Structure 1
Amino acid sequence: MNQKKIDEMTELLLRIEKELKESKQSLELLNKSIDKYDKYAFLNVS
Structure 2
Amino acid sequence: MSYEKSGFKKSDKAMTDFLLDEYVSLYGAGDYVIDGTAILVKHLDV
TM bucket normalised to smaller = under 0.3
Q: Which has the higher helix share?
A: 1
Greater Rg over alpha carbons, structure: 1
Structure with more contact order per residue of length (Cα contacts < 8 Å, sep ≥ 6): 2
Task: Tell me the TM-score normalized by structure 1.
Answer: 0.17
